[in-house]
Structure formats: C-alpha cells, structure tokens
Chain A
Amino acid sequence: MKGNEALAEAAIRSGCRHFFGYPITPQTEVAAYMAKRMPKIGGTYMQAESEVAAINMILGSASAGVRAMTSSSSPGISLKGEGISYIAGSDLPCLIINVQRGGPGLGGIQPSQADYWQATKATGHGDFQILVFAPSTVQEMVDTVADAYDMAEKYRMPAMILADGMLGQMMEPVVFEDKEYVPAEKPWATNGHGFKRERNVTNTLYLTPNELEKRVVDRFKRYEIVKENEPRVECLGTEDADIIVVAYGATSRIVKSAVKSAREQGIKAGVIRPITLWPFPDKAIAAAADTAKAFLCVEMSMGQMVDDVRLAVNGKKDVHFFGRTGGVIPTPAEVLEQIKKIAGGVK
C-alpha cells in the first residue's frame, strides 16, 4: 500500500470520521483516499477552499470531541500554523499530517526534512508544543496513527505525523491490526447535551495576563509529564558503538544501510532513531554520550534536529552533521564516507 493511502486508512480505522484538507503534492493521495472512503462510512470529507479554512474546520470538529484529521505538505502546513496555535491554545486533540517537501517558499516537491524546526519548535505563535511522530516505514506510519490519536486525547494537544515525500509515495506491505475504536470520554467537548450540564467553551483569548499565564504554565506542567513518559526511540548497536549516527524518518533507513556497511568494514557504528521528535528522546542520546566517541546527525535539511542532538549530548562529545536538502536524498555511500571520516579522526 502507498504510504499516503495507508495513513488515511489507518486514520479511518482509528475512528477518524472528519477529514478536511486542501490538495498539495506529495500528500494528495491522503485526501483522495479520504474522499473515496468517507462518504461510504458515514464520515465527512471536505476539500476546503484553503489550508487556513481546513485547519479551522479541524478546530471546530476537535472542539466537538470527534477524531479529526488534516493533511498537507510543507507550504500548506505553514498556512495551517495559525490554526494549530489556536488548537493548542484550546487544549484540543487532533491529528495533522505533514508529508514534507523541499522549501523554503514553494520549494520543490521531492522529499525533505526541512520542517523539523517548524514541527518541534514553531508550528505557530505562542508558548506551546505539539506531539511530533516520525515513522520510518509505511507499516510504522500505520501503527503510529492510533497512538498519535490516543496520546493527543490523553494530553489534550495536537499531534503531528512528520513524514516526507518518500514515505508518502512509496509502497510497502502493511498489516492493519483489528482493533476496535472505543471513543474516550470527553467531558470538555462542546457538543450537544440537551441542557444536562453546564456549557463548555472553546476559547484562546485571555486578556488578563495572570489568567493567561496560569493557563500556559498549567499546559507546560502537562508537557513535563509528556517529556517524562512519552519519548520513543530505536537504538541499534549503540552499546559498543564508537560513532552514533542519529537520524529520523526515511533518512534513518539510509543511515541503517550505511551503518551496516561501516560495521562490515570494522567501524563500530550505531544508530539512534528518534521516533518521537517532540518529546525528543534526549535521555537515550545523553546516555550514549557517555559511551560513544562521536555523533553524526544526518538529515534531509541543512541541520535542524542536530540542535537537539547537541543539547542532549551537552558538549560531552563532538556532534557532526551531514545533510542534503532541496529534495536531494542522501545516499548510503555518502553517509558511509562521513562515518569513515569521523572514524579516522577518533581512532
């Protein structure tokens, strides 16, 4: 199944019945699939007049307590930024897909990871975070969707799956687990209740500074719990590795190929693959910084996640960076060359 279609099917199986989007390459198959399926299962599919409209429709449906999803690619996510900030400020759960392409501006349509900063640090204005998941296979994208919804509802915050053009466009075999979706209680939802309770309100406007500060501080207390409990990471061969390569998403697959070759050539290399980008698995990286000799961060960008790797390593070891950008995909050979270069230096 194609990555984009698999994402859409997984969302439907996780109880998503409201999809609002606007077409953009390379994620359009998500919307196309939803357009085909939603009418058949009593769901709502709407191609909005713009990304801004789509994300505000998500704000509305999330506020009513239903599982809603929107999907876009880099330039479209920028347009959604304002709405995402409102959703975060309203403490509402929803799922946003970003199938990244090269930027800035309209950029290109080939795979990229240049929206890491945007996803983890500045999706919109104001003090807030969203959950960011970075699957690396089509199967993992499928498995992530249900978790992303569950976690978004548990912590009442937006979740994003940060994919890229390669993951969206490629086909791989997938298995869908038969898990029935049981909607969670949402006492905060602004849905119809027949005057049986006090009305709920969705709001982000607080003109009294102390009141707004308290809301933000309370939200950040929740973020601390997320940071404590939810980071996810895959570590491969890190126990005895001299050089640890950190990469996420599609790039991590290329890195795994390179690290395998490095091992075959006698270089002790390992991989740390953050699966959640926020919360960032900084403890796993900090632990590895005690045993490894050097780090290499590989991204399809000019170096964005490398900032978080450096913060986690905290100056204990050198952190090198290698990246290709603009839609160019790094090759296993290029990564291997970097590993060899670093290995030459640390021996």
Chain B
Amino acid sequence: MATKNMLLAGFGGQGILFAAKVAAYAGLMEEKQVSWLPSYGPEMRGGTANCSVCISDEPIGSPLVLAPDILVVMNVQSFDKFIDTVVPGGTAIVDSSLIDKRTDRDDISVFYIDATKQANANGLAGLANIIMLGKMLGETAFTTEEMIEKALRKCVPASKQHLLEPNMKAIRLGMSL
C-alpha cells in the first residue's frame, strides 16, 4: 500500500470524525504516515460533516481527499456529493438504513449495509459509525483488526474505557455484514 485516501461523510453527531480518527490512529499504530482533516464550522453542528484521512508509506502531500480510494457515507447529501468522486477501482460503503439510493457506477465496489438499523437491533445504538468502519476494514483490509483495537484504546477516553468492548463488537459486526 503506497497511499490510501479515505473520505468519511454523514451528519454531525453520527461520529464521523471519531470513526475517521480511529482509522487514522490504526495507521499510526502501524507506524505509517497519517493525516486527519475534518470539515469544521457550521457543518459540525448538525449539518453535513466529513473527514479526510490519508494513510501512507510516504510523507503526505495534500491532506484534503478529493478523490477517495475508500468512501464511507451516512447520509443522502454526502452520497450525492461524493459517490462520483471515488477513484475507479475504489470502494464505497453506504448506510442503506439512511440512504435509499443506489449508484449506477460499475467501476467501483459498493457495499450497502444497514448499519444504523443493525446498531439499534444489536444494542449498539450510536455505534453505526463503528459498524461502518468494521465493514470498511473487512472489505478493504486497510489495516488489521488488531490495529483497530489498539487505535480504539487510544481514541476512547480513559473515563469511558467500558465502551471499548461495544466498539469492538461493532467492528466485528461490521466485518460480518
């Protein structure tokens, strides 16, 4: 892997930035070069939020991802905005419980999973973002489950370490969908 550019997008509050942070930290755990660049400002307060993550063997040039290798989308607005930006041969993961649309692109791999529904059904409410991350891990192997677990240990605050287990459960659920 030379460089993997990822874009995660959805509503503010869905944990887009957190899922992206875990992905970036997983890269860091592998001692890769990483960058994490959020959209900031009004988007974060309930509007559409997105976050660019680059994981690379080389120093990262532009940290802004305009043509993602991997796209994770959790709302219709982001689906419409970004699905056509995925590089040919890239991967898109779509939360089908929130996005009632399909793309007609056949040059990318698209996975539709009902992450938000599955989160609620499995006692993992609020962890749809991590289920999506699990699916992303399962389909692209951009890192390993072990690195994700290490990353989660770093990203989950010390006072909330009891949330580590549900997060790992969400990762594994995502990988199985």
- Listed in ascending order, the chain A residues whose CB lies under 8 Å from chain B are 25-26, 109-110, 137, 165-166, 169-173, 250, 253-254, 256-257, 260, 329, 331-332
Contacts and interface: CB of A to CB of B under 8 A. Distances in A.
Contacts of A25: 40-41
Interface stretch (B8-16, B62-70, B123-131): B62-70
Interface string B1-23: 00000000000000000000100
A173 B40 contact: no
A253 B24 contact: no
B60 A253 contact: yes
Given A172-B35, A172-B63, A250-B63, 5 more contacts: A172-B60, A254-B61, A254-B64, A329-B64, A331-B62
Contact of A171 (B36, B41, B66): B36
B61 A170 contact: no
Contact of B37 (A137, A170, A254, A332): A170
A68 B156 CA distance: 33
B38 interface: yes
A173 B63 CA distance: 13
A137 B64 CA distance: 13
Nearest to B32: A173
Contact of A253 (B34, B63, B66): B63
Most buried by B among A109, A173, A256: A173
Contacts of A253: 60-63
B28 interface: yes
B60 A173 contact: no
A153 B106 CA distance: 61
Contacts of B59: 137
B62 A109 contact: no
A191 B60 CA distance: 46
Interface in B55-80: 59-64, 66
A39 to B, nearest CB: 20
B45 to A, nearest CB: 11
Interface of B: 21, 24, 28, 33-38, 40-41, 59-64, 66
Nearest to B28: A173
B158 to A, nearest CB: 15
Nearest to B41: A109
Contacts of A170: 35-38, 63
Among all A-B residue pairs, the 5 with the closest Cβ atoms: A257-B61, A171-B36, A170-B37, A254-B62, A109-B41
Nearest to B62: A254
9 contacts: A25-B41, A26-B41, A165-B40, A170-B63, A172-B35, A257-B61, A329-B64, A331-B66, A332-B62
Given A26-B40, A331-B66, A171 B61 contact: no
Contacts of B28: 173
Given A171-B35, A172-B35, A173-B34, A109 B64 contact: no
Nearest to B31: A173
A303 to B, nearest CB: 20
A306 to B, nearest CB: 21
B165 to A, nearest CB: 25
Contact of A110 (B34, B35, B41, B63): B41
Most buried by B among A26, A165, A171, A172: A171
A295 to B, nearest CB: 20
Contact of B63 (A26, A109, A166, A260): A166
Nearest to B27: A173
A64 B59 CA distance: 41
A172 B61 contact: no
Nearest to A101: B41
Nearest to A111: B64
B19 to A, nearest CB: 14
Given A26-B40, A171-B35, A172-B36, A166 B24 contact: no
Most buried by A among B34, B38, B63: B63
Given A109-B40, A173-B28, A256 B61 contact: yes
A257 B36 contact: no
Contacts of A260: 61
A169 B37 contact: yes
Contacts of B24: 171
A139 to B, nearest CB: 10
A110 B37 CA distance: 12
